[in-house]
Amino acid sequence: MKHAHVRVATVLALGFAWAAAAPAQDTSGTHRKQLSQHDLSVAGWEEYQVRVDFDPGKSVPNHKHPGEEIIYVIEGTIEYDVSGKPPLILKAGDVLVVPTGVVHSAKNVGKDNAAELGTYVVQKGKPLVEWAR
């Protein structure tokens, strides 16, 4: 029972952190579902796994994370704009690693739903997402 309460609190905190980080950012048309969150064997670090679905033409604006993000494209076609690099278009089965603190964005450039599995290895106690310009 205690684990269930902790898990619910974690999911709510992640959702509030995502929403509170920058209420002015438009993330309509993107849908996030947290799949896991666990402490790692390295003190002060944890992992999150999140499925993000993008409606056609929808995007997540510029943001960064307090740790590494490993992106696996589940379906569709997603364009990633990673600071300092040319835009990259990935399709189902492709993988992208975004280093700690690097500003990036993602947009569904296909005609159907697109989805990614984001795995975050981040420092505990820091907001998962920080919006950037």
Query: Do residues 100 and 68 make contact, with C-beta atoms less than 8 angstroms apart?
Result: yes
Of 63, 67, 69, give the one whose Cα is nearest residue 25. 63
- The yes/no answer on whether domain 2-131 falls in CATH 3.20.20.70 is no
CA terminus-to-terminus distance, the chain: 41
**pLDDT tens digits for 73-130?**
999 999 999 999 999 999 999 999 999 999 999 999 999 999 999 999 999 999 999 9
Query: Do residues 116 and 74 make contact, with C-beta atoms less than 8 angstroms apart?
Result: yes
Name the residue with higher pLDDT: 63 or 14.
Answer: 63
**Three-class SS state of 109:** coil
Model confidence band, residue 14 (pLDDT cutoffs 50, 70, 90) = very low
Model confidence band, residue 2 (pLDDT cutoffs 50, 70, 90) = low
The residue extents of the domains of the chain are 2-131
